[in-house]
Amino acid sequence: MPDEKIVSIPWDEFVSKVCLRQEILSLFEVLRKEAESRGLFLYVAGGPVRDFLLGREIMDVDLVLVGDWEIILDRVLSKLGGRLLMRSQFLTYKVQLGGETIDLATARKEYYSQPAVLPQVARAGLEDDIWRRDFTINALIYGLTSPYREKIVDKVGGIEDIKKGIIRPLHEKSFIDDPTRILRGLRYKVRFAFNFGEEFFRALKLAEEVSSPLSLSPTRLSQELVNFVKKEPFHLLYHLISELKMFEILKKFGLKERNFEEDDLIVLARARGELGEKEFQKLFLLSLVELNEQNLARLGFGNEERSQIEKYLKKIEEGLYYRDDILKTVETLERIPLFFLYRLLLEARFREMVREYLEKWRYVKPLIGGYDLKALGVTDGKRIGEILREIRRMKLLGKLNSPSEELDFAKNLIFFRN
């Protein structure tokens, strides 16, 4: 076990890196005074301390209390006009102050009944709270009250690992307990341009031996993979995916990966600007793997959604079949959700057709409408629809380029029909 290392850092210096509103910092000060008056140890833990030592801006602060938050929360929130939003089974709390939400945690010990399941927790002291964490670089704390007020405390060698740029789990069974740490460690490796320590690979091997990554629930697996686009900058995405491939990480989690190419980033970048957040996350997950039943189930796509995706694949095959009938092809593609069309854009056999649709065909629609046809004496709604479809077909073929041309074409159809 490394020797304990303590570094004094004035609060003003630490907080200068914190990018939070003043009212939140005021909350921290009130919480600090309340905890101090009751002899409770309050501290900042994990990522904020790591980022401070790396000279990075601190975008979020995790406050941890050795003791019971219930003792002080009511008093503090009533004083500041905040309110408690949630308390969880993991002894964490979410509070609201103004327009901000803040997460508060309790120093705790974790017990894993079996590999890859969520832990049971119990209140504990500082030592247990430190050693339950994922990596040494995330196991540093900064004290806000006695006995370590305005001090960084390192009991695990995290400061030295930050200096050396090493990602190291706290114990060799870490990934057996929680295999999401494998994916998290890879994100830290790329984000900070660090390297894995030998302990990382030993922990990975032990986890594989007991199939812990395969035991991870589909929901937790997909949530952790989504963090690649949710918590990491887009320009690092190809590097992240390359690391997944290099260490065969997806295979360890029971996924058959597809060959993700650098040009695929162009598709994802375009899709990110058009899709909603949830739809883009689905696209990202599907971009990592081959489109088969096993992969979809492993990523947490439900029965109904998997059935829908199977239907989409059949429709796109129909689109290829209808290539001689451009209108039918377009109408087929219109029935496929946009996120899945972007996924199909990554498949060579569909690429040309889907690209044409996304870049051109979907925007081609008649400039005249039903009211114009009614002015020409067409009153039957079905007939109006048929004429507008034929106009769209001709526009897709490049044969109609203006409203007047569309009207002339409509008149010919009406005349011919009569």
Residues 105 and 142 in one domain: yes
pLDDT, position 21: 80
Residues 376 and 342 in one domain: no
pLDDT, position 129: 96
Residue 269, domain member (yes or no): no
pLDDT, position 379: 87
Residues 358 and 385 in one domain: no
Cα 263 versus chain centre, distance: 21
Burial 134-145 (b: 16+ CB within 10 A, else e): bbbbbbbbbbbb
Number of domains in the chain: 3
Residues 41 and 134 in one domain: yes
pLDDT, position 62: 85
Which of 103, 130, 164 is at the close of a domain?
164
Number of H helices, E strands in the chain: 23, 12
C-alpha Rg value of the chain to the nearest Å:
29
pLDDT, position 24: 81
Q: For residue 352, give the DSSP letter.
A: H
Residues 89 and 133 in one domain: yes
Residue 63, domain member (yes or no): yes
DSSP alpha helix (H) spans, 7-137? 11-15, 22-37, 47-54, 70-80, 126-131
Angle value at C-alpha 248, between 247 and 254, nearest 5 degrees: 145
360 vs 245: CA distance, rounded Å: 34
Which of 110, 144, 164 is at the close of a domain?
164
Beta bridge partners of 153: 6, 141
Using the structure block, give the residue that is written with the tokens 């945690």. Answer: 105
Residues 63 and 156 in one domain: yes
Residues 62 and 46 in one domain: yes
Query: DSSP readout, 62-92?
Result: -EEEES-THHHHHHHHHHHT-EEEEE-TTSE
Residue 267, domain member (yes or no): no
What are the residues whose beta carbons fall under 8 Å from the beta carbon of 329, sequence distance 6 or more? 319, 322, 323, 353, 357, 361
CATH at 96: 3.30.460.10
Alpha-carbon separation of residue 221 from 177, 248, 396 (angstroms): 14, 15, 43
Residues 22 and 51 in one domain: yes
Range of the domain at 384: 370-417
Which of 108, 136, 164 is at the close of a domain?
164
Using the structure block, give the residue that is written with the tokens 């989690």. Answer: 253
Query: Which residue positions in the chain have pLDDT lower than 50?
Result: none
Residue 125, domain member (yes or no): yes
pLDDT tens sequence across 79-110: 888 888 999 989 999 988 877 788 899 999 99
Residues 329 and 388 in one domain: no
pLDDT tens sequence across 120-174: 999 999 999 999 999 999 999 999 999 999 999 999 999 999 999 999 999 999 9
Residue 239, domain member (yes or no): no
Q: Are 149 and 33 in contact (CB under 8 A)?
A: no
Residue 276, domain member (yes or no): no
Residue 235, domain member (yes or no): no
pLDDT, position 108: 96
Residues 308 and 402 in one domain: no
Residue 200, domain member (yes or no): no
Residues 320 and 382 in one domain: no
371 vs 384: CA distance, rounded Å: 9
Residues 308 and 159 in one domain: no
pLDDT, position 392: 95
